A = this chain, B = another copy of it.
């Protein structure tokens, strides 16, 4: 593999041409491997085939690279949450849960981004762009909560959407960070993180008075038989949101 570096160097000449991007990609790979703590500026430079000093032409320091990655992470996060929310189709509750699953999926499938975003010690307000990206992502959850709150069953007080959003965020982040990633995933669980979160959200929504009597989650892999917004039944699925005991 070490010939690669030489080759690259020969291929590209003195100037790299796209170093900033190359460094971001390299860092992403390194973080995925060894975590943000283990990631090294020097390693990223090596991987891009440049000297250790070169990165400083593109990032003030190691932290700036890290926060750039966190920012990109939030941007991708936002777009995945947006897609999952799909503007509340086919019904609000279904879409809402899909957002929860998308959260976990992101944490699982993009460990490097997730790490940089939430576990690297990069403060949210490290730079304005980062903060803005983070807020945009959260606003997806918030908007979804808003729609959900608007459906609050009559007779019950309408829950504040902001609070719901924060609750959902904390559940998703808690599950992701405790059970769904890296070493944390070694904790042995009686159910998958996805199931765990889905049950948690369903119970929570039921606590708010939302009808959550939909098919048992994990069992039917197919799209739901589209229950109308005003779901008629008022019960709980046969085994509750956590499925039936085996």
Contacts and interface: CB of A to CB of B under 8 A. Distances in A.
Interface of A: 35, 37-38, 118-119, 121, 123-125, 156-157, 159-160, 162-163, 166-167, 169-175, 177-179, 182-184, 186-187, 189-191, 196-197, 199-200, 202-208, 236, 239-240, 242, 245
Contacts of A37: 37, 121
A168 B128 CA distance: 33
A182 B124 CA distance: 11
Nearest to A199: B163
Given A163-B196, A173-B178, A186 B123 contact: yes
Nearest to A196: B166
Given A200-B204, A203-B167, A159 B240 contact: yes
A106 B171 CA distance: 19
A37 B122 CA distance: 11
Contacts of A245: 160
A121 B37 CA distance: 8
Contacts of A38: 121
A7 B236 CA distance: 69
Contacts of A199: 163, 167
Given A159-B242, A183-B125, A207-B207, A170 B200 contact: yes
B207 A163 contact: no
Given A159-B240, A163-B196, A166-B179, 12 more contacts: A37-B37, A118-B177, A123-B182, A124-B186, A163-B191, A166-B196, A167-B199, A167-B200, A167-B203, A173-B178, A203-B204, A207-B207
